[in-house]
Amino acid sequence: MADPILDIRGLSKSFGALKATDDVSLDLRPGEIHALIGPNGAGKSTLIKQISGEIAPDAGEVVLRGRSLAGIDAAGRARMGMARSFQVSSVAPEFTVLQNVVLAAQGASGATFRFFRPVMRDAGLLQTARDCIAQAGLSGREAVPAAELAHGERRKLEIAMALALKPALFLLDEPMAGMGTEGATALGDLLDALRHRAPILLVEHDMDAVFRLSDRVSVLVYGRVIATGTPDEIRTDREVQRVYLGEEA
- Give 3 or 94: the residue with its C-beta nearer to another protein: 94
Q: Assess 249 for contact with another protein (CB under 8 A).
A: no
Contact with another protein (CB under 8 A): which of 1, 143, 238, 247?
Answer: 143
Q: How many CB atoms lie within 10 A of CB 247?
A: 9
- Quote the CA–CA distance of 15 and 231 in Å, as a whole number: 31
Q: Assess 141 for contact with another protein (CB under 8 A).
A: no
Q: Assess 63 for contact with another protein (CB under 8 A).
A: no
Q: Assess 138 for contact with another protein (CB under 8 A).
A: no
Q: Provide, rounded to whole angstroms, the least separation between the CB of residue 166 and another protein.
A: 10
Tell me which stretch binds another protein (CB under 8 A): 26-34, 115-123, 184-192, 211-219: 115-123
- Give 122 or 237: the residue with its C-beta nearer to another protein: 122
Torsion (CA) 98, 101, 102, 107 in degrees, nearest 10:
170
Q: Assess 127 for contact with another protein (CB under 8 A).
A: no
Q: How many CB atoms lie within 10 A of CB 66?
A: 9
Question: What residues numbered 88-107 form the site for another protein, per CB under 8 A?
Answer: 90-96, 98-99, 102-104, 106-107
Strand order in the sheet with 224-229: 82-85, 169-173, 200-203, 33-37, 216-221, 224-229
CA distance from start to end of the chain = 34
Contact at 8 Å (CB) between 54 and 227?
no
Contact with another protein (CB under 8 A): which of 73, 189, 208, 239?
Answer: 73
Contact with another protein (CB under 8 A): which of 65, 114, 151, 242?
Answer: 114
The SS3 call for residue 98 is helix
- Give 79 or 212: the residue with its C-beta nearer to another protein: 79
For 101, residues 6+ apart whose C-beta sits below 8 A from its C-beta are 128, 129, 132, 133, 157, 160, 161, 164
Contact with another protein (CB under 8 A): which of 1, 2, 16, 121?
Answer: 121
List interacting residues with another protein (CB under 8 A). Answer: 52, 54, 73-76, 78-79, 84, 86, 90-96, 98-99, 102-104, 106-108, 110-122, 142-145, 148, 161, 164-165
